[in-house]
Structure 1
């Protein structure tokens, strides 16, 4: 069928400079080798990777994924498929849950929005906030991919003297809502 989107795989690559590459391919092994070779020319290495199961309409789904990542991070000057400021585990969660990202109110079938990310995270450093009802607490969290993000948790459960019950090293379940605002993710623990 002319113009039909071929079947294949979505993939994500994280490079050691923090950039994430999203794309699609019909041959995941060949494409990964190409990226490894190309990155090596600039002394850059792939440090994490993910690919989907075999899917239909991979180009359309790639477009949806690129749109979601564009809302969460910053495209690099390198091209439309390269992003900064998106933790790899967040990008992977978005790709795995891409079917949930489509807007139900969309009339064209192409509108997508990031989905909330549910993840385990470790508290890094002391949470920062003040006493009072419905206070935002700023907490740095290390995600499973190793990236550290700053989150704003709204919580009315402050302890005495405005002390928050989270401690450095605690492992928590968190739900992150994006896109981040001024580099701060909205979170619920």
Structure 2
């Protein structure tokens, strides 16, 4: 009898220790969503978005202003938490537009087909990789905007990890020239 009570008590303790599985369902895009890197409101930026659910951080995914940024995040080795799920805007969904990609039309990042290397520029001004659930939609987008359709694991690191020239050097040179002009003494 004692052994049975002990086993029953041990079983009850074990059941209490079981952790509930973390909910990794995609959350709707709202006005409260801010980009992980830029800390800016996502609704103020055009193009597809992404969200990553991390182990130990339930209900608080990281949102990304560009899908490119989420793929870069997934590939960087210095992450402190396990990535449980990544969701991307499905640009093949009814009503999805570049200026309004949708609040709830998420697709698992591993299931999407991406157009890479085209002329599409994301919300932060960098070249974007554009996700679709439908291969024909991806092909049509690539035909209209350049690039190539591919799966997540086929996207080259150079498409997401390489530096992007946003023309800042030219703006900086112009600023420096104007600053020098303002600080010159008359007659110089």
Normalising by the smaller structure, the TM-score range is: under 0.3
User: Of the two, which has the highest radius of gyration?
Assistant: 2
Report the structure, 1 or 2, having the larger helix content.
Answer: 2
Give the alignment's TM-score, normalised by structure 1: 0.26
